[in-house]
Amino acid sequence: LRVTTFGESHGPAIGCVVDGCPPGIEIAPADFAPDLARRATGKSRHVSARHEDDAVEILSGVHEGRTTGTPVALLVRNTDARGKDYDAIAGQFRPGHADYTYWQKYGTRDPRGGGRSSARETTMRVAAAVIAKKWLAQRHGVHVRGYLAQLGEVLPRACDWAAVEANPFFWPDAAQVPELESYMDALRKSGDSVGARVTVVATGVPPGWGEPVYGKLDAEIAAAMMSINAVKGVEIGDGFASVMQRGSVHRDQATPDGFLSNHAGGILGGISSGQQLLVSVAFKPTSSLRLPARGVDIEGKAVEVVTTGRHDPCVGIRATPICEAMLALVLMDQALRHRAQCGDVGEVSPRIPPQA
Ligand code: EPS
């Protein structure tokens, strides 16, 4: 499975091509709406105020409601682009933004907002993954879901899946939502931004997906997550906490009734163990701030950079569906690759249940 995207934040449209989809997957434009709405801007006062329709047009690869096996091309027209918002900083590099590195790489850049580096691009990852999520659920009983596991300094006090979809933060503790609202209101008033951690979990992944040395499942997941804008860290299972653990604690003991813990996050030696896949992703604070910062313009002169316009004070708030999408796309790819190489091997015994 190969997904590529195109388009700029303030251009006419964004889109993606999903190549390598098996034929016969039922897909209609309406299937995309729920996940795109979960990711969208303008849904609460805590995210960018841009109002996009995010309506998906299927351009190819689907006939009479089913994938044909040829490349699936999806298009979303930008309906609320406002490139003029960026005229004041068109010749400047925002500190902490990809403006500078795009300029160094290409010697030119689209100065309308983030252009290609904008979080707008993630719309198409989420759209592509609607197909992957559907196929994984129907074909393998694999489900991917996520939640916001940290907002700045705030940590959840409980982890209740039922709460996650009932608040604009994807927060797993309903009782803390008012605290988050005040936290974000104060942050927005201050003009600053903050980072966040998103945790994604895949259930139903059978043992055996992934590659043992090159293209390890954890490496593929890390690369996929790192390709999302603003991501600065990825952990699998206990991740960096493993540094302080003893082997006697970290090893996931097993009985015939199931594994007794999941410190490894469902991956051993680059291959899925059949336990839940646990992935945590760190998002940096957004760099587009109205607080003045010292910067340099394209002539190399010192300037004071002030960014106005519509921005997320915490881009991590909308990132849960994006991380889910990347995990689903990696898993669909791994499932297809596993079938191609080892399809004839079938189920191997003994199979240890994911959890005792
Ligand atoms: C964002 C700034 C704006 C947002 C964007 C996230 O984009 P730009 O810099 O291109 O003007 O509106 O999000 C989207 C457009 C989207 O669809 O996700 C930011 O600073 O976080």
CA of 342 to the centre of ligand 1 (A): 42
In the chain, % of residues over pLDDT 70: 100
Give the per-residue pLDDT at 110: 84
CA of 260 to the centre of ligand 1 (A): 43
Give the Cα separation of 240 and 223 in Å (integer).
Answer: 17
Average pLDDT value for the chain:
97
The answer to whether 22 and 117 are in contact (CB under 8 A) is no
* Ligand 1 binding pocket includes 119 (Cβ within 6 Å): yes
The annotated binding site is made up of: 39, 45, 116-118, 229-230, 269, 284-288, 310
Give the per-residue pLDDT at 114: 81
The answer to whether 342 and 208 are in contact (CB under 8 A) is yes
Q: What is the pTM of this model?
A: 0.97
Per-residue pLDDT tens digits for 274-323:
999 999 999 999 999 999 999 999 999 999 999 998 999 999 999 999 99
The mean per-residue pLDDT over the stretch 61-69 comes to 98
Give the per-residue pLDDT at 163: 98
Question: Mind listing the domains of the chain with CATH numbers?
Answer: 2-342 (3.60.150.10)
Residue with the nearest Cα to atom 11 of ligand 1? 113
| CA distance readout (Å), 20 to 4, 248, 282, 309 | 12, 43, 30, 39
Nearest 5°: CA angle at 247, between 241 and 250? 50
Answer yes or no: is the ipTM higher than 0.85.
yes
Where does residue 65 rank: exposed (0-12), middle (13-18), buried (19+ CB within 10 A)?
A: exposed
* Ligand 1 binding pocket includes 216 (Cβ within 6 Å): no
Per-residue pLDDT tens digits for 78-114:
999 998 898 999 899 999 999 999 999 999 988 887 8
Nearest by Cα to 323 from 199, 156, 166: 199
